[in-house]
Amino acid sequence: MSSLQPVRGTHDILPDEMRAFRHVVDTSRMAAALYGFAEMATPAFEFSGVFARTLGDTSDIVTKEMYTFSDRKGESITLRPENTAGIARAFISNGLSNDLPFKAFYAGPMFRYERPQKGRQRQFHQVGVELLGVAEPQADVEVIALGRHILDALGLKGAVTLEINTLGDPESREAYRGALVKFLSGRLAELSADSRDRLERNPLRILDSKDEGDRAVIAGAPLLGEYLNAASKAFYEELKNGLLDLGLDFIENPHLVRGLDYYGHTAFEFTTDALGAQGTVMAGGRYDGLVKLMGGPQTPGVGWAAGVERLSMLLAEPPAEGRPVAMIPAGNDPVIKREAMILSERLRRAGFAVDMAFSGNMGKRMKRANKLSAKVAVILGEDERLARAVTLRDLDSGEQATVSLDRLEETLARMLVNLSEDAFGGI
């Protein structure tokens, strides 16, 4: 165990884990493209105001979880804790509001100063989408459908549940908030210390509490649904009908809320019980007030973000590695080794993944080929060189044959095609 530790809450993504990680990101990116979301990226850090103003002064993210520091000019800079604010900022900065709807996909690292746990790190990665400029609930449906599409494509169909709720429009939410605070104030003594605290800052969050005493109180609390005005109700109904039209199963969770202040109407989460306390794997909602809050034109928006690490952990089986071609010079004759290097390069230019062991006897090099799970070994020795040929060995069957250099690519391609037929047709 070395004393060279990574910073708390950060970790290295080694090749094995990276394969699962990339599978999640690539799958998300491809699905997003099917729904018309184009990938973009914003900086990993912004002026602190971008987050402080938009995430709300009372959210935990702003009050205690941001990586904020002064740069050399004394500017307050913050490592992004999430990407919605950054996308909204970019939307405004680049004057994109004239070309709506604006549909963006992103993937990248986020930073929160939290206590690390499984599935919760200080640097973690999200993929996400934002759809700006559409006030209709169909936008919410599309965004949720994309989320479900990705989860299905990752093989998580049965493992993840969609929960939805509505937070209503600002008018409905204010009315409800008042009623809730009034109700809870009457039962103050029964609430947990955390929740008494939240009563001031963010009373809706109390609905989400896991404390048993709190839950007992909440069970009798007024529900937001009772305070929705006609417009908010209609919006929610359209959302649910839209989900049903697409066969997207969901359960309604009236206690589902968002920690960030700019959310309204739709709130949703895809959750699993396979990750302990970190059960939320993808979460989002509607934020019609955000762009205006940041100084842009009134622009409705809806989107979600998903935790790449969390999704990676849920993957039953990481995707298989590619199987390279192993170049094996027989012996250590410098002439042969040069030929092998030249031939490797030729094959790579032709699109083959080639790995060559640089030293050792043939047995060692074959072992290395095996460890790389190479499909084919290209063996090049003195005999082959003189015959202007190579020996191709199928490492699965053990069959091998001498093939003229003129027909090398052609023969290799055929051997590798057989491989993929085996992989897909062998069930």
Partner RNA sequence: GCGAGUGUAGCUCAGUCGGUUAGAGCGCCAGUUUGUGGUACUGGAUGUCGUCGGUUCGAUUCCGAUCACUCGCCCCA
Q: Does 32 bind RNA (CB under 7 A)?
A: no
According to CB under 7 A, which one of 135, 279, 411, 418 is a site residue for RNA? 279
Q: Is 280 in the site for RNA (CB under 7 A)?
A: yes
Question: Which range in 37-45, 159-167, 228-236, 278-286 contacts RNA by CB under 7 A?
Answer: 278-286
- In the set 126, 172, 232, 253, which binds RNA (CB under 7 A)? 126
- Smallest gap from Cβ 59 to RNA, in A, equals 5
Q: Which is nearer to RNA, 229 or 332 (CB)?
A: 332
- Of 100 and 336, nearer to RNA (C-beta) is 336
In the set 12, 73, 99, 115, which binds RNA (CB under 7 A)?
115
From CA 311, how far away is CA 238, in angstroms rounded? 29
315 binds RNA (CB under 7 A): no
Question: Which amino acid is it at 345?
Answer: E
Site for RNA, residues 341 to 380, rule: CB under 7 A = 360-364, 366-367, 369-371, 377, 379
**Position 228 contacts RNA (CB under 7 A):** no
338 binds RNA (CB under 7 A): no
Q: What single letter denotes the amino acid at residue 6?
A: P
Can you tell me whether residue 315 is helix, strand or coil? coil
Footprint on residues 230-269 left by RNA (CB under 7 A): 258-260, 269
List all residues 6 or more positions away from 201 whose beta carbon is below 8 Å from its beta carbon: 58
Cβ proximity to RNA, 69 vs 94, nearer residue: 69
Instruction: Choose which of 383, 406, 410, 422 interacts with RNA (CB under 7 A).
Output: 383
Q: Report the amino acid identity of residue 40.
A: M
Q: Tell whether residue 307 is a contact of RNA (CB under 7 A).
A: yes
- Compare residues 92 and 336 and give the one whose CB is closer to RNA: 336
Residue type (1 letter), 150: I
Q: Which is nearer to RNA, 73 or 115 (CB)?
A: 115
Instruction: Note whether 291 binds RNA by CB under 7 A.
Output: no
Q: How far is the CB of 95 from RNA (least distance, A)?
A: 27
Report if residue 305 touches RNA, rule: CB under 7 A: yes
Half-sphere exposure of 65 (CA within 13 A, CB side): 25
154 binds RNA (CB under 7 A): no
Q: Which range of residues in 27-35, 98-106, 119-127, 163-171 is near RNA by CB under 7 A?
A: 119-127
Task: State the number of binding residues for RNA (CB under 7 A).
Answer: 74
Could you give the CA distance from residue 108 to residue 80 in angstroms, rounded to a whole number? 10
Side by side, the strands of the sheet bearing 161-166 are 38-39, 102-111, 123-132, 301-307, 280-286, 264-271, 161-166, 251-252
**Strand, helix or coil for residue 57:** coil
If one asks whether residue 112 binds RNA (CB under 7 A), the answer comes out as yes
The helix (run of H) or strand (run of E) holding residue 182 is: helix 170-186
Strands 76-79 and 264-271: unpaired
Residue 61 CA to residue 55 CA, distance in Å, equals 8
- Give the start-end residues of each E strand in 227-300: 251-252, 264-271, 280-286
- Whether residue 316 contacts residue 113, with contact meaning beta carbons closer than 8 Å, is answered with no
Near RNA by CB under 7 A, which window of 98-106, 227-235, 350-358, 389-397? 389-397
- Closest by CA to 378, choosing from 360, 396, 387, 366, is 366
Taking the complex as a whole, how short is the minimal distance between the CB of residue 145 and RNA, in angstroms? 17
How far apart, in whole angstroms, are the C-alpha atoms of residue 84 and residue 97?
Answer: 16
DSSP H helical segments within 35-76, as ranges?
A: 48-54, 60-64
Query: Of residues 141, 384, 403, 408, which one binds RNA by CB under 7 A?
Result: 384
Near RNA by CB under 7 A: residue from 210, 320, 334, 427: 210
**What is d(CA 165, CA 178) in angstroms, rounded to the nearest whole number?**
19
Q: Which two tokens stand for residue 91?
A: 């939307």
155-194 binders of RNA (CB under 7 A) = 194
Closest approach of RNA to the CB of residue 55, in Å: 9
Only one of the segments 46-54, 208-216, 220-228, 244-252 lies at the binding site for RNA (rule: CB under 7 A); that segment is 208-216
Distance (Å, whole) CA 60 – CA 39 = 29
Residue closer to RNA by CB (options 64, 182) is 64
Given 173, 198, 286, 323, the residue binding RNA (CB under 7 A): 198
CB atoms within 10 A of CB 127: 26
Instruction: State which of positions 34-93 bind RNA (CB under 7 A).
Output: 59-61, 64-65, 82
Bond prior to 101 in cis (omega within 30° of 0): yes
